[in-house]
């Protein structure tokens, strides 16, 4: 009994409780249930229940002849059994304009003392068969048709039924208890999601502020960096460029002066040598030879020597020595200009150093701002345009990037949780507690697996890959009408929850596999049956406490409608 479809089984016996005042009422005609007694009170006349205009003498009640169109004058015989039975589940089919009468009574009332009273279809009254299932007291065969005599078996049947009912009730209670636990667990899981959403929302608020602070901080650092001067020659402001160019030019000129001085010294020594030669020539030649060429040469030399030419000034040479000596006092200290952290503007505004500290700070800040404005407006060169990003900027950027990544991952998680909260999780959200839980059953060549709200799978027993039979898409409510098997492991009749799984593995020459999982109340999660309704379209029948309905089950033992 442990795995019985409990809510359905509780409706198997169409039994009624005795009404509290049944014993005090006057005796009723045969086959009349206590709730219809009031229609049979008049000692003279009977009024057809559904057709009050038709009245008959009381003697024609149960005279085995059908007088009333609703059969209410024959509660204890089968005389009116040809009339459509009163069935709340299957109302009579009525064609437009056609009046089809239905029975006013649910059937022949069996008192079934010692067990539960019940109604038997009128066709079964006096048909020569003891219908112990519905009429354990045998009162349906009161006429003894064909000599049949039905003993009263209610004591035995009632005892057995009560025993079974106790087991059933225990199982039902256990199922309901399990369902309660599932609902509690589902609520806890839902609360967890809600709490996480709250945490994420607060976290996201904080992260948004953090990101905007870091964005601002990065912009500030980038801006401040623009105000700094680059050390390398030629890249700074205009003064830096000028210094660099000047140094190059002066180095070049110095080299040339050195070279020209060497050439001058060489020329000077050649001239001295030639003058010496000429002097000796003049002193040593013989004027008596009267050589015209020699005379002309001596004359030219005398003229040359007589010319007034400036003598070298030693002071000029000293000046040149000074200029060419990089170690001299007056040499320019290029490193002071080129190898400095200070910007052009800093250099220009060294006067700050003479100011009192607060004023100096103020002036410094203003000057930095001014420099930034000048850079941003293209008046001063931006020293950083073609240099690598500074560590401060890189660090600020990486902090910003990781804060942005955190924010975006939290936002994604929040969206997922919010979508989850909006999802359908069945009555009392109960399936939330079962999501992802799987059960299996062997059937034919395969083991079938069903996972709540996730997927269904076909696993070949003789090896090979699994086949996806669909992924969960939605919860549906469907009406089923099936005979309940003796062990109760089936759907029975009524509204049932069904989980629809679609888009499984594609079926060769067919659709993508899909599964409808129909659920009915049971004490434990269990696959009862798997059918391939058409090629690659499957149906599973599954028992689970998740779909038990405590209220209905507690009323349990009768037709709800009576
Ligand atoms: C496999 C199984 C069957 C299905 C066929 C269709 O054998 O999935 O259930 O009918 O493929 O080719």
249, part of any domain? yes
Residues 36-62, mean pLDDT to the nearest whole number: 95
Whether residues 138 and 251 share a domain: the answer is: no
Range of the domain at 259: 238-303+314-328
Q: β-strands 438-443, 514-521: how paired?
A: unpaired
Whether residues 551 and 445 share a domain: the answer is: yes
Q: Find where tokens 């905007």 sit.
A: 212
Last residue of a domain, one of 106, 121, 152: 152
CB 214 within 8 A of CB 400: yes
pLDDT band, very low/low/confident/very high, at 113 (cuts 50, 70, 90): very high
pLDDT for the residue numbered 487: 80
Residues 44-66, mean pLDDT to the nearest whole number: 95
Residues 425-453, mean pLDDT to the nearest whole number: 97
520, part of any domain? yes
Closest CA to 446 of 511, 536, 345: 536
* Ligand 1 mutation target, pool 469, 507, 509, most atoms within 8 A of CB: 507
48 conformational bin, left if phi > 0, alpha if psi -120 to 50, beta if neither: beta
Q: Is 506 in the pocket of ligand 1 (CB under 6 A)?
A: no
Q: Find where tokens 């623009």 sit.
A: 226
pLDDT for the residue numbered 224: 82
**Domain count for the chain:** 3
Q: Is 536 in the pocket of ligand 1 (CB under 6 A)?
A: yes
pLDDT tens digit string along 359-380? 778 877 887 888 778 777 656 6
386, part of any domain? no
* Interval between CA 365 and ligand 1 midpoint (Å): 80
Last residue of a domain, one of 132, 152, 172: 152
- Tell me if residue 448 falls in helix, strand or coil: strand
58, part of any domain? yes
Number of the ligand 1 atom closest to the C-alpha atom of 467: 8
Extract the tokens encoding 190: 């839902």
220, part of any domain? no
Q: How far is CA 514 from CA 348, 444, 455, 532, in A?
A: 82, 19, 10, 10
Q: β-strands 514-521, 537-544: how paired?
A: parallel
In terms of Cβ atoms closer than 10 Å to its own Cβ (0-12, 13-18, 19+), residue 318 is exposed
pLDDT for the residue numbered 231: 42
Paired strand residues for 458: 448, 467
pLDDT for the residue numbered 291: 86
pLDDT for the residue numbered 391: 84
Q: Is 508 in the pocket of ligand 1 (CB under 6 A)?
A: yes
pLDDT tens digit string along 251-305? 888 888 889 989 999 998 999 899 899 989 888 888 888 888 888 888 899 898 8
519, part of any domain? yes
For the entire predicted model, the pTM comes to: 0.58
* Interval between CA 525 and ligand 1 midpoint (Å): 26
Q: β-strands 514-521, 526-534: how paired?
A: unpaired
pLDDT tens digit string along 114-165? 999 999 999 999 999 999 999 999 999 999 999 999 999 999 999 999 998 8
Under DSSP, the state recorded for 23 is G
Strand ranges of the sheet holding 455-460, from the earlier edge strand across to the other edge: 438-443, 446-451, 455-460, 467-481, 493-502, 514-521, 537-544, 526-534
Q: Is 72 in the pocket of ligand 1 (CB under 6 A)?
A: no
Q: What is the dihedral of CA 335, 338, 344, 348, to 10 degrees?
A: 20
Name which residue sits closest to atom 6 of ligand 1, judged by CA. Answer: 507
pLDDT band, very low/low/confident/very high, at 75 (cuts 50, 70, 90): very high
Report the sign of the C-alpha dihedral through residues 97, 51, 37, 551, in that order. Answer: positive
Whether residues 6 and 132 share a domain: the answer is: yes
Closest CA to 145 of 131, 134, 158: 131
Name which residue sits closest to atom 2 of ligand 1, judged by CA. Answer: 536
Name which residue sits closest to atom 9 of ligand 1, judged by CA. Answer: 536
Residues 428-436, mean pLDDT to the nearest whole number: 97
Helix (H) or strand (E) holding 533: strand 526-534
Number of the ligand 1 atom closest to the C-alpha atom of 508: 12
490 conformational bin, left if phi > 0, alpha if psi -120 to 50, beta if neither: beta
* Interval between CA 471 and ligand 1 midpoint (Å): 17
Q: Is 507 in the pocket of ligand 1 (CB under 6 A)?
A: yes
Q: How far is CA 490 from CA 278, 443, 472, 478, 483, in A?
A: 143, 16, 22, 15, 8
* Ligand 1 mutation target, pool 448, 461, 467, 533, most atoms within 8 A of CB: 467
447, part of any domain? yes
Rg (CA), the chain: 58
pLDDT tens digit string along 324-364? 887 877 777 777 666 655 555 555 556 666 777 777 788 77
pLDDT tens digit string along 184-232? 999 999 999 999 999 999 999 999 999 999 999 999 998 887 766 444 4
* Interval between CA 450 and ligand 1 midpoint (Å): 17
Whether residues 114 and 16 share a domain: the answer is: yes
pLDDT band, very low/low/confident/very high, at 544 (cuts 50, 70, 90): very high
Q: How far is CA 544 from CA 168, 190, 243, 340, in A?
A: 15, 21, 89, 82
320, part of any domain? yes
The CATH number assigned to the domain holding 501 equals: 2.70.130.10
Extract the tokens encoding 194: 């809600």
Last residue of a domain, one of 99, 120, 152: 152
pLDDT for the residue numbered 14: 40
Q: How far is CA 517 from CA 500, 526, 530, in A?
A: 6, 12, 9
Whether residues 147 and 246 share a domain: the answer is: no
CB 487 within 8 A of CB 4: yes
Q: Is the pLDDT of residue 545 over 90?
A: yes
pLDDT for the residue numbered 165: 87
């Amino acid at each position: 009994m442990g795995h019985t479809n409990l809510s359905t089984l509780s409706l198997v016996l169409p039994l009624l409780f005795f009404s509290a005042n049944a014993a005090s009422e006057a005796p009723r005609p045969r086959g009349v249930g206590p709730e219809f007694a009031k229609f049979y009170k008049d000692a003279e006349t009977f009024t057809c229940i559904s057709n009050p205009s038709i009245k008959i003498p009381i003697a024609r009640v149960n005279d085995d002849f059908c007088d009333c169109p609703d059969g209410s004058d024959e509660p204890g015989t089968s005389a009116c059994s040809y009339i459509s039975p009163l069935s709340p589940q299957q109302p009579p089919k009525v064609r437009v304009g056609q009046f089809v009468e239905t029975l006013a009574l649910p059937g022949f009332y069996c008192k079934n003392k010692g067990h539960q009273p019940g109604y038997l279809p009128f066709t079964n009254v006096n048909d020569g068969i003891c219908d112990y299932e519905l009429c354990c007291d045998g009162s349906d065969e009161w006429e003894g048709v064909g000599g049949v005599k039905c003993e009263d078996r209610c004591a035995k049947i009632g005892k057995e039924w009560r025993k079974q009912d106790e087991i059933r009730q225990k199982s039902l209670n256990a199922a309901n208890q399990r369902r309660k636990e599932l609902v509690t667990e589902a609520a806890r899981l839902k609360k967890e999601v809600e709490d996480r959403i709250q945490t994420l929302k607060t976290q996201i608020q904080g992260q948004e502020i953090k990101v905007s602070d870091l964005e601002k901080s990065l912009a500030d650092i980038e801006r401040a960096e623009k105000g700094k001067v680059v050390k390398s020659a030629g890249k700074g402001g205009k003064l830096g460029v000028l210094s660099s160019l000047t140094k190059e030019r002066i180095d070049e000129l110095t080299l040339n002066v050195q070279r020209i001085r060497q050439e001058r010294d060489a020329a000077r020594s050649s001239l001295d040598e030639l003058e010496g030669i000429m002097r000796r020539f003049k002193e040593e030649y013989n004027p008596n030879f009267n050589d015209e060429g020699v005379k002309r040469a001596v004359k030219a030399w005398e003229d040359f020597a007589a010319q007034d030419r400036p003598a070298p000034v030693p002071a000029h040479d000293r000046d040149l020595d000074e200029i060419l000596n990089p170690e001299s006092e007056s040499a320019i200290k290029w490193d002071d200009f080129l190898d400095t952290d200070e910007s052009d503007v800093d250099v220009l505004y060294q006067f700050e150093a003479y100011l009192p500290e607060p004023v100096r700070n103020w002036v410094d800040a203003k000057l930095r701002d001014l420099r930034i404005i000048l850079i941003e407006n293209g008046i001063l060169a931006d020293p950083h345009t073609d240099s690598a990003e500074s560590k401060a900027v890189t660090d600020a950027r990486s902090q910003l990037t990781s804060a942005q990544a955190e924010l975006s991952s939290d936002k994604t998680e929040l969206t997922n949780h919010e979508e989850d909260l909006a999802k359908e999780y069945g009555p009392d959200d109960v399936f939330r507690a079962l999501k992802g839980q799987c059960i299996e059953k062997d059937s034919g060549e395969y083991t079938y697996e069903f996972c709540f709200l996730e997927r269904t799978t076909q696993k070949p027993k003789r090896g090979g890959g699994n086949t996806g039979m669909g992924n969960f898409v939605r919860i549906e409510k469907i009406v089923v009408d099936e005979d309940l098997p003796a062990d109760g492991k089936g759907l029975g009749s009524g509204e049932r929850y069904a989980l629809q799984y679609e888009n499984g593995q594609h079926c060769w020459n067919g659709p993508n596999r899909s599964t409808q999982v129909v659920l009915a109340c049971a004490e434990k999660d269990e696959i009862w049956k798997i059918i391939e309704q058409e090629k690659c379209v499957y149906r599973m029948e599954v028992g689970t406490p998740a779909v038990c309905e405590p209220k209905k089950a507690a009323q349990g033992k009768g037709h709800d409608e009576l």
